[in-house]
Chains A and B, each alone.
Chain A
Amino acid sequence: MSFSFRRVYAVMLRNFYTDKRSTMRITEIFYYPAIDITLWGITTQWLKQDGNAHFMFAIATSLVLWQVVTRGIYEISIGAVEEIWNRSIINLFGSPLQLSEWMVALTLCSIFKIFIIVPYGALLAWLIYKVNIFSIGLMLIPYIMLLLGCGWIIGFLGASIIMRWGRQAQSTPWMVAWFFAPLCAVFYPLASLPATVQTISYCIPITHVFEAVRHQIITGAIAYNHLVIATGLMLTYLTLSAILFHKTFARALRKGLSSLE
């Protein structure tokens, strides 16, 4: 079976059309980052201790980078939910489209949106808190790539749940996204979590990326150890989540894709 980029383009076009025509989808791209960055940032400003000059910078950067993770999650799991909501999954997979092409198309859509979300988040951080997250430099690129990969992992997990339980699991993408937030030490150091939770957090690649970001902000040095662990975990989990998604899709095919609607 040959992989077709024209079909990948078709799925991306389908998502682009939805975004273009759906005020809600366009709004959420800008709305949630704005709310998160403003709300959490102001809270942080209030809590900020004068002695810690990096505190605001670390939080603002984490807020912007967390949007990268959630975008990765939403693009994939919302992609699955949308077809079920529209009852269009039969027409989609009754075409030559392969599951791998669909997965690639959704991941590419999330990459395109990152080019909007990161500059937008950075602009908000600069306007509201006078924090320039681009001062992190080129290391921002691997951080974003790793976090986007982590978003895809959770996205495929959410999409697998949707493929398993269909319409009744439609709120999963939102739940899954926020389930991981407290465990990943996004807004606070790993050390501030209870020891038992730290063990779990240590197995999540997002934790290592945010630890590395904070380490760079505070010390100016790159935490290669965290980056290596994050890369290894991300690639392993991404492979496993893609396999899980393939398996749940195969199960959905055994029950009939129409049973999801």
Chain B
Amino acid sequence: MNNPVLEVNNLSKNFSPQSRPAVDNLSFSLHRGEILGLLGPNGAGKTTTIQMLLGTLRPSNGRIAYFGLDFFKQRSEALEKIGFASTYANMPEHLSVTENLRVHGFLQGLSHTELAKRIDYLLDLFRLSEKRFNRFSSLSAGQRTRVLLAKAFLHNPEIVLLDEPTAALDPDIAEQIRSYILHEQKKRNLTVFFTSHNMHEITYLCDRVLVLKDGSLLADDTPHNLAAAVSKAHINLIAQNGFEALKAYAQLKNLSFIIKENVFSFSIEEKDIAALLSDMAAHHIAYTHISIDKPTLEDYFLQVAGVQSIKDKDNE
């Protein structure tokens, strides 16, 4: 494999000696053309990690290297090749969309001509051309996010760090942005480091996912492999005569279940599905429709976040 464009070794951040580290001994690497997702429940250390990768927060320990350069010694050189967008980082409110992009283009070292072309192209791509002279303060949350994304891609960066980039976007625009990221990845081997709460998005975009919990790295694998690590599948049933018989059966067998709208769902180990279905037949449990959902990345996330156990508890 080629040399990593980002290498993180034993990265830690301790805000106070009395509390647990916000990020604890995190190590990973990111290769050219790879899309790496960062996943974790609230407070897992995702934002702390991304801030350290951006240089706006000093780590307590560890090393970050972009393109083989020590980030703490050659910060400006590294950041010239990095784009960044976060729903939580703003731009000056009084400035218009174009003015904000011009300022950031010059900060990234673009020339006047290059910058004018890139601004036109990106505003058109992100459907912001009509808003180019509007003040940043007058934009909606979705429009602001698109300006921030345009800023991140302004200088054709080699790596982009995106912190929940599609959180405030309408589904069609979010899809367009996902397509643009994949297009840039294919076209010029763009490398992406990405946090999101949208599991579908992570599964769709990411080649690999890092899972953080309480500041520690829990997993570093493909979305498919992480989903496969969850052994429980969901059996969804629709019964003609209500769910009383199904409920009684689930309680008898001590199975966890959820009733959502008119669908009754069992959570069960994948390997036990066949036995369960024949046992239900033996107990004359009738249903009109059945579907089986294989475990997804969302199931993995819920398991990591500890949400599954709460659900199970509610059902008990």
Contact = CB atoms under 8 A, between A and B. Distances in A.
B90 A86 contact: yes
A4 interface: yes
B109 A7 contact: yes
Interface in A118-174: none
Interface in B74-109: 74-77, 79-80, 84, 86, 88-96, 99, 102-109
B56 interface: yes
B80 A96 contact: yes
A97 B79 CA distance: 9
B129 interface: no
A9 B108 CA distance: 11
| B interface bracket (residues with beta carbon within 8 Å of A) | 35 or more
A91 interface: yes
A4 B109 contact: yes
B106 A7 contact: yes
A7 B107 contact: yes
A194 interface: no
Contacts of A258: 47, 51, 56-57, 88-89
Interface in B45-65: 47-48, 51, 54-58
A95 B79 contact: yes
Nearest to A90: B89
A89 B91 CA distance: 8
Q: Interface residues of A: mostly helix, strand, loop or mixed?
A: helix
B57 A94 contact: no
A1 interface: yes
Interface stretch (A16-24, A31-39, A109-117, A217-225): A16-24
Interface in A234-256: 250, 253-256
Contact of B106 (A10, A22, A93, A256): A10
A6 B55 contact: no
A48 interface: no
A96 B91 contact: no
B56 A90 contact: yes
A256 B57 contact: yes
A75 to B, nearest CB: 16
Contact of A1 (B47, B76, B102, B108): B76
Given A87-B89, A258-B51, A93 B102 contact: no
A254 B107 contact: no
A2 interface: yes
A90 B47 CA distance: 12
B151 interface: yes
Contacts of B47: 258
B178 interface: no
Nearest to B59: A254
Closest 7 CB pairs of A and B: A10-B106, A87-B90, A90-B89, A96-B76, A256-B57, A95-B107, A96-B79
Given A17-B95, A94-B56, 19 more contacts: A1-B76, A1-B77, A4-B109, A6-B109, A13-B102, A13-B103, A14-B92, A14-B95, A17-B99, A18-B95, A86-B93, A90-B89, A91-B91, A91-B151, A93-B55, A94-B55, A96-B75, A96-B77, A96-B108
28 contacts: A1-B76, A1-B77, A4-B76, A6-B109, A7-B107, A10-B105, A13-B102, A13-B106, A14-B92, A14-B95, A17-B95, A18-B92, A21-B95, A86-B91, A86-B93, A87-B90, A88-B89, A90-B51, A91-B104, A94-B79, A95-B107, A96-B76, A96-B77, A96-B80, A96-B107, A254-B58, A255-B57, A257-B57
